């Protein structure tokens, strides 16, 4: 080594300063050193947070940015595939089919599990991206702030799938609790086959219960049998007045009631509830008693029943956005002598409260007109309920259903029933009110009632056959006659669409 201050030492120093190659090498080393010094733990911490942020927007991109290309591409591909499948499902699949999926407990379970795993997985990707660049040492403040930001990002991405999982859980809970009659055998059909191929008609008893806090038991003031053609969805509704007397009882009870039931028809439900030992099939003896008696009256086998507390109609109709019907006359809202308003005459869009009073009011007319309006409400719900609106209000409808609906429909039959409901939306709905002059409610001719029911169904099926055989081109160029009458003839079959202003 040259001696300090010697000629050789001065020459070496001169060479070190002025040689271009050495100057460039020393300069680059100095810049790298400065960059390393600038990479403080704080900067590294927020760079790691940046990776977590981009992973929030596009899962896997943070891993790719950090140099973990293989794992990053795999994560990104998985999430893009999942998102693409969701978009395809929402845009291509018919809303009614989505509702069919929404009432399948197996599908709902799969949605719950998938949504929870998605929330956990996406949050894990964000945390993992952060840890790829997180410094080993940083200040407590920066560490806490970074952890807070990463936590907020994880919460933000996990909220939508957790909400979806909750919706699926609520739906599954309602279906499992409401549609849980173990005595009914679900319909079995091969994949892709019509579940109703072996059943030309489905008869469903719709009961409107008038139970309340100040009343003992349930009074079924609304009793409608919907007889549905499973090939077309065309439906005939048979309304039974609550004050019908001497209703025929099942054969096993003829000794007790040789001349028929001794009270009004709407009291049969209470009788069944009070005598459960006589109606052991199913979990609701009151509903079973009503089913059996109405089956005797109409000569039809009742396949299912659904009992709805009339108050629930208000919430359900609000949830689907209201209904539009033709109101024949002003109908008061509120108890007699304490009216708080009116449902005005004309074609009206009614919210839940007004629709309930439209269906229940007797102040302006009588029971028989009220029965007609109740059929109008049922038909309007069937025709106007939009599947997309139902999906948006699913949680509210589910909560109302759980509290206010009883039925013996097995949950495995719900998808098939929804498919049938899709047909009914564009089908003909007609009705036969069993009221005067056709029926003397004080002394009904039950054999005549059975004959009228069979004849009405026969005519409806004949119209359905003509409609199926008719070519769509047959109607082209033909002007439709305007319909001016809003009410059918009392005691005669009539179109519900025309009577209720739904056409």
Q: Give start and end residues of each alpha helix (H) in 94-139.
A: 95-102, 105-133
Same domain, yes or no, for 218 and 116?
no
Q: Which residue has the higher pLDDT, 15 or 42?
A: 42
Instruction: Provide the whole-model pTM.
Output: 0.74
- pLDDT(15) > 70: no
- Mean of the per-residue pLDDT values of the chain: 81
- pLDDT(187) > 80: no
Q: Which residue has the higher pLDDT, 315 or 363?
A: 315
User: What pLDDT does 28 receive?
Assistant: 47
- Residue 195 in domain: no
Same domain, yes or no, for 157 and 253?
no
Same domain, yes or no, for 226 and 211?
yes
Same domain, yes or no, for 33 and 52?
no
Which among 392, 379, 372, 468 is positioned nearest to 421, based on CA atoms? 379
Same domain, yes or no, for 22 and 96?
no
User: What pLDDT does 53 receive?
Assistant: 92
Same domain, yes or no, for 43 and 31?
no
User: What pLDDT does 60 receive?
Assistant: 92
Residue 136's pLDDT band (cuts 50, 70, 90): low
- Distances from the Cα of 458 to the Cα of 233, 299, 453, angstroms: 15, 14, 9
Query: What does the block give as tokens for 330?
Result: 């002003």
Same domain, yes or no, for 32 and 91?
no
- Residue 449 in domain: yes
Region 55-61: mean pLDDT is 92
pLDDT in tens, 467-479: 777 755 555 544 4
User: What pLDDT does 132 receive?
Assistant: 87
User: What pLDDT does 489 receive?
Assistant: 52
**Chain mean position to CA 148:** 37
Which among 254, 326, 334 is positioned nearest to 500, based on CA atoms? 326
User: What pLDDT does 264 receive?
Assistant: 94
User: What pLDDT does 346 receive?
Assistant: 92
User: What pLDDT does 23 receive?
Assistant: 41
Same domain, yes or no, for 31 and 66?
no
Same domain, yes or no, for 264 and 239?
yes
User: What pLDDT does 491 receive?
Assistant: 55
**Chain mean position to CA 233:** 20
Region 105-113: mean pLDDT is 92
- Residue 193 in domain: no
334 backbone φψ class: left, alpha, beta (φ>0; ψ -120 to 50): left
Query: What does the block give as tokens for 166?
Result: 């909750």
pLDDT in tens, 263-286: 999 999 999 999 999 998 888 999
Range of the domain at 20: 1-38
């Amino acid at each position: 080594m040259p001696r300090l201050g010697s000629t050789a030492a001065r020459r070496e120093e001169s060479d070190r300063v002025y040689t271009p190659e050495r100057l460039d090498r020393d300069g680059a080393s100095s810049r790298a050193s400065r960059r390393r010094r600038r990479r403080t733990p704080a900067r590294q911490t927020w760079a790691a947070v940046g990776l977590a942020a981009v992973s929030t927007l596009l899962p896997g991109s943070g891993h790719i940015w950090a140099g973990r290309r293989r794992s990053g591409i795999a994560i990104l591909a998985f999430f893009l595939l999942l998102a693409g499948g969701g978009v395809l499902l929402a845009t291509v699949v018919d809303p009614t089919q989505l509702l069919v999926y929404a009432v399948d407990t197996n599908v709902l379970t799969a949605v719950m599990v998938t949504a929870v795993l998605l929330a956990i997985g996406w949050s894990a990707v964000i945390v993992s991206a952060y840890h790829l660049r997180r410094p080993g040492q940083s200040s407590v403040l920066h560490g806490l702030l970074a952890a807070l930001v990463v936590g907020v990002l994880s919460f933000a991405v996990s909220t939508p799938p957790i909400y979806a999982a909750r919706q699926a859980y609520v739906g599954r809970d309602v279906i499992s609790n409401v549609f849980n009659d173990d005595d009914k055998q679900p319909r079995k059909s091969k994949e892709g086959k019509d579940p109703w191929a072996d059943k030309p008609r489905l008869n469903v008893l719709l009961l409107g219960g008038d139970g309340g806090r100040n009343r003992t038991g349930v009074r079924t003031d609304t009793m409608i049998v919907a007889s549905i053609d499973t090939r077309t969805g065309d439906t005939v509704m048979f309304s039974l007045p609550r004050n019908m007397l001497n209703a025929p009882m099942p054969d096993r009870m003829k000794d007790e009631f040789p001349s028929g039931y001794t009270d009004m028809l709407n009291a049969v439900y209470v009788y069944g509830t009070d005598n459960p030992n006589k109606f052991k099939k199913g979990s609701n003896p009151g509903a079973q008693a009503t089913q059996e008696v109405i089956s005797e009256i109409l000569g039809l086998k009742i396949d299912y029943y659904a009992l709805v507390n009339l108050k629930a109609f208000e919430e359900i109709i609000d949830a689907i956005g209201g209904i539009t019907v033709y109101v024949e006359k002003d109908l008061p809202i509120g108890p007699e002598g304490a009216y708080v308003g009116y449902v005005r005459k004309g074609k009206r869009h009614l919210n839940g409260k007004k629709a309930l009073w439209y269906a229940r009011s007797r102040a302006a007319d009588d029971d028989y007109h009220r029965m007609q309006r109740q059929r109008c409400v049922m038909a309007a719900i069937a025709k106007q309920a939009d599947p997309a609106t139902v999906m948006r209000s699913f949680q509210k409808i589910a909560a109302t259903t759980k509290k206010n609906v009883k039925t013996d429909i097995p949950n495995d039959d719900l998808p098939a029933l929804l498919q049938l409901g899709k047909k009914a939306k564009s089908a003909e709905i007609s009705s036969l009110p069993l009221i005067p002059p056709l029926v003397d409610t004080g002394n009904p001719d039950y054999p005549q009632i059975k004959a009228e029911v069979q004849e009405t169904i026969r005519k409806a099926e004949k119209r359905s056959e003509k409609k199926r055989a008719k070519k769509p081109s047959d109607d082209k160029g033909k002007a439709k006659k305007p319909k001016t009458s809003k009410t059918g003839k009392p005691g005669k079959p009539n179109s519900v669409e025309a009577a209720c202003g739904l056409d």
